[in-house]
Amino acid sequence: MRSDCGQRITDYGSQALVLFYLLYSTINSFVLSSSAETFAAPPVRLSTFDFRLSIICQSKSPFLHFNLDHHEARFCLPDVHLPKCRGSVIGGKRSLFSKSFNQSPSPSHVLGETSPDCGRKIAIFLQLGKIHVNSIASTRSRWQSTESASAKRPEQFPHDPRGPKPAQAGWGTGRVLLLTAASGGLAYAVATLKEKNRQVNRDYSDPLKFVEPKYASVKDMELAIQEIRQATDEDTISTDADDLLAHGYSEWSSTNVDSLPVAVAYPKSTADVSRIAAICHKYRVPIVPYSGGSSLEGNISCPYGGVSVDFAFMDQIIKFNEADMDIVVQPSVSWMDLNEELARRQSGLFFPVDPGPSAKIGGMVGTNCSGTNCVRYGSMKDWVINLTVVLSDGTIIKTKRRPRKSSAGYNLNSLFVGSEGTLGLVTEITLKLAVVPQEFSVAVVTFPSIRAAASAAADVMRAGIQVAAMEIMDEVQMRVVNLSKSTAPRTWKEKPTLFFKFSGTKGSVKENIAQVSAIAKAHKGGDFEFAKDAREQKLLWSARKESLWSMLALRKEGSEVWSTDVAVPFSRLADIIELSKKEMDELGLFASILGHVGDGNFHESIMYNSRVAGEKEKVEKCVKNMVVRALQMEGTVTVGGVDVILKGECADFLRRVNTE
């Protein structure tokens, strides 16, 4: 693999070669045109002629005057090659640009007229080596017509007794090549010297070789905090120790870094965010946005210190456009609160993306989250109309206008949704809303193995059945729910289980339930239950809703839960789940699996004791192998998984995948 230095030197060399060619062409054209000869003798008709290109002409004359072995001839190109050119076809040929000629044209074929730009156009073909002549000159005088020229005998036009004039002394090809070679060598030497003096040398094919970014010193951060206090309200910025800990560490997260933010900012408006960002940009202070703080994979971490921007005070619904079925909200609005407000207004609309209950809209945009409804309603990117974003230097932009369809400019929504705050701070979000379905229902079915459950889910997708949600939980996760008593008094069979949501008209819901039941039966599914009313729906769905929190609730002192997820094409979901479960069992790990099986995504939650030697290493190995499998199956990984892999033995594998 070439280094960055080698790549840049190669680029300079390529540029130098282009420069050589241009320099050579320019000097050669200048020298040759300056040495071209013009003869005063009238043209003569040649009995035969055979010529090849030897020089280049850039004539602007309407006539071209050639000297062919001490004989002169004047003619133009046929109009098949040059628009605006009129003249005869020489010797009956359609093209003058053949490699050689041995014709006997009459005088009428020799004379002709061309447009003023004929000379410029012929030069292109001459440079390509299509025609070789001994010399080229031009004249603006008016010659005889074709008829008069044809009437005269060739003997009436004697040769010039003086013969051709010798060419003036000028630069030869050797001198031109020598000059260009010297220029190229000098350019290459300068490029090499510059590369040796470069302070930063990055190999962009390997992110691990990037030089760490330079951030503000502690003193600069203190100056930035002081300036933020002066530019905003006194209570906008906090350096309280509890605040710093709450915004840099999460007991729910699988990943926590050792550093904390140096301050927490609480803006109240987009203008406040802009001022904070501009000041931090001035002092090179990192900014980390904070919304609900419910991340499980370290999204709120502040590895370089800096300022955590908490949007707690920006939690308002700005505008509800009921007729247009959209709503403008601030980042700290909860999706559950939003749906409650829409129901209170009896709008008949709802926001369908449903991740964890504590998630806020700002964080949902940053992570492009989905939820249990992803099978029917997709992920966050599908429900964002536009965003108001504050860039790192304080610039405020709007990604799009409010119409749902627009082809004006770039699709900036897709750039910022999922960027996790690395490109800007989202301060306002315009969301699409969906119509509340007429009918809902929930169904639960158990299977003898996790492969049977995953295969049944894949068949449901291929059958095109309109399910609103389709979730999978293995037997370990079902046991965890029972042990935590989070759904008491209801208990569950500890088998791999699929959970379904149905929505639509009464007829479509009933039909879809029947189709899913048939597919489940074909995969040896049993105990198919479906809800008959809202109370039963809530009860049947409670196990899925409480799954993650049930696992966390079982932790003992010293225990940690590592939660990560991957996604693969749903046809490979059964394979990766089965292989991952087998490895966890062989390593003796207490781990459970649950996931949004409808889009090929599943979560792996592994409980381990951090105080037991080698326990964490087992977990890292298991997670690493799961990620490698996902990539081999053309899948994708999340931030938590990537962090582990890049520190382990699979970094080369990931780099190899990225370059294929």
Give the pLDDT confidence score for residue 613 in this predicted structure.
86
CA dihedral 517, 522, 526, 530 (to 10 degrees): -10
Q: Lowest-pLDDT range, 57-66, 204-213, 263-272, 498-507? A: 57-66
The rounded distance, in Å, linking the Cα atoms of 479 and 494 is 5
Q: Is 0.75 topped by the overall pTM?
A: no
The arithmetic mean of pLDDT across residues 211-226, rounded, is: 83
3-state secondary structure (DSSP) of residue 301: coil
The rounded distance, in Å, linking the Cα atoms of 438 and 233 is 48
| DSSP state at residue 270 | H
The arithmetic mean of pLDDT across residues 507-535, rounded, is: 90
Give the pLDDT confidence score for residue 78 in this predicted structure.
40
Mean pLDDT of the chain: 74
Tell which residue, 461, 450, 616, 581, has the closest CA to residue 524.
450
Give the pLDDT confidence score for residue 29 in this predicted structure.
54
Task: Give how far the C-alpha of residue 409 lies from the chain's centroid of Cα atoms, to the nearest Å.
Answer: 16
Query: Is the pLDDT confidence value at 658 over 80?
Result: no
| DSSP state at residue 383 | S
**pLDDT tens string 554-600:** 777 777 888 888 889 888 888 998 899 899 888 888 888 888 888 88
Please name each of the domains of the chain with its CATH number: 36-156 (no CATH), 218-310 (3.30.43.10), 317-435 (3.30.465.10), 439-549 (3.30.70.2190), 556-659 (3.30.70.2740)
What percent of the chain has a predicted confidence (pLDDT) above 90? 33
User: Which run of H or E residues covers position 271?
Assistant: helix 270-283
User: E-strand spans in 524-558?
Assistant: 526-530
Query: Is the pLDDT confidence value at 224 over 50?
Result: yes
**pLDDT tens string 411-453:** 999 999 999 899 999 999 999 999 999 998 999 999 999 999 9
Residue 421, token pair as written in the block: 């705050």
Give the pLDDT confidence score for residue 207 in this predicted structure.
52
The rounded distance, in Å, linking the Cα atoms of 441 and 503 is 7
Residue 270, token pair as written in the block: 């987009």
Tell which residue, 343, 489, 364, has the closest CA to residue 431.
364
* Length of the chain (residues): 660
CB burial of residue 85 (10 Å; 0-12, 13-18, 19+) = buried
Query: Is the pLDDT confidence value at 318 over 60?
Result: yes
Give the pLDDT confidence score for residue 25 in this predicted structure.
60
Question: At a CB cut-off of 8 Å and minimum separation 6, what does 386 contact?
Answer: 398, 399, 400, 401, 402, 413, 429, 430
User: E-strand spans in 305-422?
Assistant: 307-310, 317-321, 326-329, 349-350, 384-390, 396-398
Confidence of residue 231 (pLDDT cuts 50, 70, 90): very high
CA dihedral 550, 551, 556, 558 (to 10 degrees): -140
| Burial readout 149-174 (b: 16 or more C-beta within 10 A, e: otherwise) | beeeeeeebeebeeeeeeeeeebeee
Q: At what angle do helices 173-196 and 4-34 cross, to 10 degrees?
A: 160
The rounded distance, in Å, linking the Cα atoms of 133 and 54 is 5
Question: At a CB cut-off of 8 Å and minimum separation 6, what does 14 contact?
Answer: none
Give the pLDDT confidence score for residue 149 in this predicted structure.
37
CB burial of residue 587 (10 Å; 0-12, 13-18, 19+) = middle
Give the pLDDT confidence score for residue 250 in this predicted structure.
74
Query: Is the pLDDT confidence value at 147 over 60?
Result: no
3-state secondary structure (DSSP) of residue 217: coil
The arithmetic mean of pLDDT across residues 150-174, rounded, is: 49
The rounded distance, in Å, linking the Cα atoms of 247 and 261 is 7
Alpha carbons within 13 A on the beta-carbon side of 383: 29
* CA 560, 644, 208, 294 torsion-angle sign: negative
Confidence of residue 172 (pLDDT cuts 50, 70, 90): low
| Burial readout 590-614 (b: 16 or more C-beta within 10 A, e: otherwise) | bbbbbbbbbbbbbbbbbbbeeeeee
The arithmetic mean of pLDDT across residues 43-47, rounded, is: 36
What percent of the chain has a predicted confidence (pLDDT) above 70? 65
Give the pLDDT confidence score for residue 366 in this predicted structure.
92
If one counts every other C-beta atom within 10 angstroms of the C-beta of residue 306, the result is 22
Tell which residue, 349, 341, 299, 298, has the closest CA to residue 323.
349
3-state secondary structure (DSSP) of residue 9: helix
Give the pLDDT confidence score for residue 211 in this predicted structure.
55
**pLDDT tens string 86-139:** 333 333 333 333 333 333 333 333 333 334 444 444 444 444 443 434 343 333
Tell which residue, 396, 343, 333, has the closest CA to residue 365.
333
Give the pLDDT confidence score for residue 266 in this predicted structure.
96
The rounded distance, in Å, linking the Cα atoms of 72 and 133 is 11
Give the pLDDT confidence score for residue 657 in this predicted structure.
53
**What is the radius of gyration, based on Cα positions, of the chain?**
39
Residue 193, token pair as written in the block: 């010297």
Confidence of residue 197 (pLDDT cuts 50, 70, 90): low
Confidence of residue 23 (pLDDT cuts 50, 70, 90): low
Bridge partners (DSSP) of residue 472 are 498, 595
Q: At what angle do helices 639-647 and 651-659 cross, to 10 degrees?
A: 120
CA dihedral 103, 109, 110, 114 (to 10 degrees): -130
Residue 485, token pair as written in the block: 């008593």
Query: Is the pLDDT confidence value at 643 over 60?
Result: no
Tell which residue, 307, 355, 311, has the closest CA to residue 330.
311
Confidence of residue 48 (pLDDT cuts 50, 70, 90): very low
Give the pLDDT confidence score for residue 226 in this predicted structure.
94
Give the pLDDT confidence score for residue 356 in this predicted structure.
81
Q: At what angle do helices 270-283 and 218-231 cross, to 10 degrees?
A: 150
Question: Scanning the structure block, which residue is given the tokens 């959970």?
Answer: 499
CB 91 within 8 A of CB 109: yes
Tell which residue, 147, 64, 160, 154, has the closest CA to residue 104.
154
Residue 640 — φ and ψ, nearest 5°? Answer: -60, -45
Amino acid at 614: G
Bridge partners (DSSP) of residue 174 are none
Residue 207, token pair as written in the block: 């992110």
**pLDDT tens string 459-474:** 999 999 989 999 999 9
